[in-house]
Amino acid sequence: EGELNGIVRRFSPDGGLVFYGEYRDNVPYGEVCSYDEWGGMVCGVVDKKGELTGREISYIYPDRKHALTGLFREGRLVRAVPSIVREFNNETNCYQCKTADEMTITYDPSTKLRISKSPKQPDHYEQYYVCVRTSLIPGAGEGLFAKRTLSPNQVISFYNGIRVSHDVVNKRSWLENANTISLDEEIVIDVPVEYNQIETYCASLAHKANHSPHPNSYYDRFIHPRFGRIKCIRAMREILPREEVTVDYGYIHVNTENEIDLPEWYTQTVKGN
């Protein structure tokens, strides 16, 4: 078991690439890339400790076209600006980014009380691919639509919100739970009613996707550079421009009497299909 020197590729137990770059004397050196399991990556020149810390570090989104470039500390965003990846080599992971917007993005995970420090600050990856319009589904209000062709399994949109417990959600009515999604066994992501309109909240848009018994997309987990651990929406198949993005809500709600409780519109949809 000698020291690591030279080009190193590290893989997760399931075979996914988690690191690419050079090591010298068992420490990452020079320009390296660190990958998360959901498709994002953090790239840049490491500091003397081998950490992705500095003012020219980039988080590159899964499409390898959009990025956030700026100050990162040990691989975590501190503050950055949206940028566009002009060149990206999949074999060497060499890349070049060009600033796309002077809007400063900071690390902004939600809490049980605060959805975002900047609720009207959009995600430049998300706004490139989707937008909110009047839904084609009768009575559904607004919906999420593709702005350009989306590929199968592509990340489409992000689902951020305040973080509440399942117990809190289960004690509320469906009217209060219109925009909730389970993150894990403990946490539910919730976009409260007062943030339901894009005029008050547009930092993420996945809560605008409507239910369909024949969806073209599905929910997945994601690690977002700004929001941290959240949910996202991925395409199940190719989605064409101006096509509405739909998902299967898969509602399961247990009320305080330990009974299955579902909204009337959802029950009728299930019966009709």
Q: What's at 105, amino acid-wise?
A: I
Name the residues annotated as catalytic: 159, 207, 211, 219, 249
CB burial of 253-267 (b: ≥16 within 10 Å; e: otherwise) equals beeeeeeebebeeee
C-alpha pair distances (Å), 37 with each of 13, 65, 75, 90: 11, 18, 15, 16
Residues 218 and 189: beta-carbon distance below 8 Å:
no
How many CA atoms lie within 13 Å of 273's alpha carbon, on the beta-carbon side? 12
The size of the chain, in residues, is: 273
- Residue 64 · residue 85 · CB < 8 Å: yes
d(CA 66, CA 81): 11
Q: Alpha-carbon distance 188 to 198, whole Å?
A: 21
